């Protein structure tokens, strides 16, 4: 899939009809199809009304525009997910516009290259705040709404880096992605009796604009060669696409996954099962 390919390989259905999906990190950090943008489109294709929230309004609006081109309903919102006051204002706006929130997908995340010696306390705190503390903020604001409504679905997005070492020192990122998994497990246990399901998607190596941007800024090698090298790491011989994460998110949000709670779905082409 090219950087600017917006073709939609997901079928239109009504699995999420009548539901409102709030997707955090709904935009793309560079031109192309991100997991957040693909999730907005996939859920809208399944009938959900989409609240697309991103740190940058322009990124959120791009996702909304793609949803609307396909006949879906979506509104863009801007907020720093690690800032409680900003998120409270955004959630209030979503409820004012749509009346409810049935699906929460927590997709945003940042990283920092380096092990213990290279990771400053400032970088550690920044990654922790955006990747983990933001889930606490969203939970405080949105779970009470779901409880009042009688149910909902929370979907965390982690990474195989939170389960195993992938050959690069990304200490802060890896630790926080492990924390995402446990955080969502605990939500599932506490809120299951109130009709709320909480699960985590664990992507492997996914070909996103963010990955390409980071590769081009940190390596002297040709970016295409780096992409080919990442493809070879995966038993299936290729990186995954954002659509392959978005369709799993849509499944988890739907009644098709009504008895799936407190677990993780690894979407990695077999990567995590490799010995080396």
Say whether 173 is catalytic: yes
Structure tokens at 223: 């970016």
Residue 1 has pLDDT above 70, yes or no: no
- pLDDT band, very low/low/confident/very high, at 3 (cuts 50, 70, 90): very low
Interval 129-145 mean pLDDT: 97
- Among 76-80, 137-141, 159-163, 272-276, where is mean pLDDT lowest? 272-276
**Residue 88's closest CA among 49, 133, 137, 51?**
137
SS3 assignment, position 103 = strand
Q: What is the pLDDT of residue 230?
A: 86
SS3 category, 89: helix
Angle at 42 between CA 40 and CA 46, to 5 degrees: 115
Partners of residue 75 on adjacent β-strands: 51
- At residue 276, the pLDDT reads 63
Provide mean pLDDT across the span 140-149: 98
pLDDT the model gives residue 29: 81
Query: In the predicted model, what is the mean pLDDT of residues 180-192?
Result: 98
- Closest CA relative to residue 226, chosen from 202, 207, 245, 240: 207
In this structure, are residues 233 and 271 in contact, taking their beta carbons and an 8 Å threshold? yes
Using an 8 Å Cβ cutoff, are 43 and 218 in contact?
A: no
Length of the chain: 276
- Report the alpha-carbon distance of residue 69 to residue 72 in Å, rounded: 7
Which is the catalytic residue, given 77, 165, 173, 191? Answer: 173
Q: Strand (E) positions, 167-257?
A: 196-203
CATH 3.40.50.720 residue ranges of the chain are: 20-204+244-265
pLDDT of 108 reads 79
Q: What is the CATH number of domain 20-204+244-265?
A: 3.40.50.720
């Amino acid at each position: 899939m090219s950087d600017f390919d917006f073709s939609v390989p997901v079928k239109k259905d009504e699995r999420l009809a009548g539901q409102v999906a709030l997707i955090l990190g709904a935009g793309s950090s560079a031109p192309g199809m991100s997991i957040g943008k693909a999730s907005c489109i996939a859920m809208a294709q399944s009938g959900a009304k989409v609240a697309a929230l991103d740190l940058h309004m322009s990124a959120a609006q791009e996702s909304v525009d793609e949803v609307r081109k396909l006949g879906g309903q979506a509104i863009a919102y801007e907020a720093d997910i690690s800032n409680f006051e900003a998120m409270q204002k955004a959630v209030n706006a979503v409820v004012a516009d749509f009346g409810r929130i049935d699906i929460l997908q927590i997709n945003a995340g940042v990283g920092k290259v380096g092990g213990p010696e290279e990771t400053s306390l400032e970088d550690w705190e920044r990654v922790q705040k955006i990747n983990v503390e933001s889930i606490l903020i969203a939970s405080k604001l949105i779970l009470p709404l779901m409880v009042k409504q009688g149910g909902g679905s929370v979907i965390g997005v982690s990474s195989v880096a939170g389960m195993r070492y992938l050959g690069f020192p990304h200490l802060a990122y890896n630790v926080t992605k492990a924390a995402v998994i446990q955080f969502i497990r605990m939500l599932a246990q506490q809120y299951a009796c109130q009709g709320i399901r909480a699960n985590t998607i664990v992507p492997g190596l996914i070909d996103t604009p963010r990955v390409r941007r980071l590769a081009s800024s940190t390596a002297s090698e040709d970016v295409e060669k780096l992409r080919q090298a990442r493809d070879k790491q995966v038993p299936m011989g290729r990186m995954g696409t954002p659509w392959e994460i978005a369709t799993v998110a849509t499944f988890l949000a739907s009644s098709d996954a009504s008895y799936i709670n407190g677990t993780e779905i690894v979407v990695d082409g077999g990567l995590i099962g490799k010995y080396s």
